[in-house]
């Protein structure tokens, strides 16, 4: 496992060697804060909470995380560097974990760079810091699960566009399963228990509790196990 460190470092700092990182960070922050202000009514609500900021994260991640994750493996395949990587003394699992953790760390940086929002509510009001902390935790965990899906789809193709489309679709399914409107449609054809079961596989269902300040081990386990499962499939896809 000691081989994870050099690959992690290369990947993580690799983001900042190209303009990709800066474009991503700016777009992510503008979109997340913009949604909170203009759609979520952050100011109008006159409440010292960040709920209107976090509520859009599942939807924002749907497009932004595939954009960040689509190149993970398809780029290596396209440029042939995968041949270089896998002839270094490193196992597939180490490589998958190193690349995943580097991308996750990058996304965590992006999420945490929204800290001026926290300062704002702290300055203007008296927010519940526990809720803010749990929302950040939930958001970071959810980002990991999205990224796991994207890393997997990226390992399936050398084409980044296909990788992006596949991961958006997969994430869309995982998100919609818990969306009330979609569940309403489903309940017309499926029994309630089946709809509940499906909703349990959704990002949104498990993320909501975090934004209310509840850290339920069930939700933490869901995100971590979904991430672990997609990374396991990722290893299988690469060793095929």
Partner 1 sequence: MIEVKGLVKHYGSKRAVDGVSFTVNRGDILGFLGPNGAGKSTTMKMITGFLRPDAGTALVDGHDVTRDPVAVKSRLGYLPESAPAYGEMTVEEFLGFIAETRGFRTSETRSSHVERALGLTQLAPVRTQTIETLSKGYKQRVGFAQALLHNPPVLILDEPTDGLDPNQKNEVRTLIKNLATEKAVVLSTHILEEVEAICTRVIIISQGKVVVDETPSQFRARQPGARLDAIFRSLTTSSE
Residue corresponding to tokens 């001026």: 116
Q: Between 83 and 196, whose beta carbon lies closer to partner 1? A: 83
Positions touching partner 1 (CB under 8 A) are 3, 5-7, 9-10, 14, 17-18, 79-81, 83-84, 86-91, 239
Q: Least distance to partner 1 from the beta carbon of 239, Å?
A: 8
Q: Least distance to partner 1 from the beta carbon of 83, Å?
A: 4
Count CB atoms within 10 A of the CB of residue 187: 13
Q: Least distance to partner 1 from the beta carbon of 153, Å?
A: 22
Residue 226: name the closest of 202, 205, 208 by CA. 202
Q: Between 9 and 212, whose beta carbon lies closer to partner 1? A: 9
Angle of CA points 62, 64, 67, to nearest 5° = 110
Q: Between 21 and 121, whose beta carbon lies closer to partner 1? A: 21
Measure the CA–CA gap between 89 and 91, rounded to whole angstroms.
7
Q: Between 15 and 203, whose beta carbon lies closer to partner 1? A: 15
Q: Is the dihedral of CA 128, 219, 110, 30 positive or negative?
A: negative
Q: Between 6 and 34, whose beta carbon lies closer to partner 1? A: 6
Q: Least distance to partner 1 from the beta carbon of 82, Å?
A: 8
Measure the CA–CA gap between 129 and 133, rounded to whole angstroms.
6
Residue 101 corresponds to which tokens in the numbers above? 């953790």
Q: Least distance to partner 1 from the beta carbon of 183, Å?
A: 44
Q: Least distance to partner 1 from the beta carbon of 130, Å?
A: 41
Q: Between 95 and 177, whose beta carbon lies closer to partner 1? A: 95
Residue 148: name the closest of 228, 64, 74 by CA. 228
Q: Least distance to partner 1 from the beta carbon of 234, Å?
A: 17
């Amino acid at each position: 496992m000691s081989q994870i460190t050099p690959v992690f470092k290369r990947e993580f700092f690799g983001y900042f060697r190209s303009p990709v990182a800066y474009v991503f960070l700016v777009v992510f922050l503008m979109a997340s804060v913009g949604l909170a202000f203009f759609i979520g009514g952050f100011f109008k609500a006159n409440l010292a909470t960040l709920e209107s900021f976090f509520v859009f994260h599942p939807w924002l991640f749907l497009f932004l995380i595939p954009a960040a994750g689509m190149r993970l493996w398809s780029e290596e395949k396209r440029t042939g560097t995968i041949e270089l990587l896998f002839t270094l003394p490193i196992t597939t699992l180490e490589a998958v974990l190193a690349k995943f953790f580097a991308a996750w760390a990058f996304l965590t940086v992006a999420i945490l760079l929204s800290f001026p929002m926290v300062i704002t509510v702290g300055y203007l009001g008296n927010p519940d810091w526990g809720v803010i902390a749990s929302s950040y935790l939930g958001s970071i965990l959810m980002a990991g699960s999205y990224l796991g899906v994207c890393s997997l789809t990226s390992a399936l193709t050398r084409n980044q566009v296909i990788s992006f489309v596949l991961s958006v679709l997969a994430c869309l399914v995982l998100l919609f399963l818990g969306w009330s409107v979609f569940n309403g449609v489903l309940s017309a054809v499926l029994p309630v228990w089946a709809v509940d079961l499906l909703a349990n596989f959704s990002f949104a269902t498990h993320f909501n509790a975090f934004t209310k300040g509840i850290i339920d081990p069930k939700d933490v386990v869901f995100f971590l196990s979904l991430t672990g499962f997609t990374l396991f499939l990722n290893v299988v896809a690469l060793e095929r």
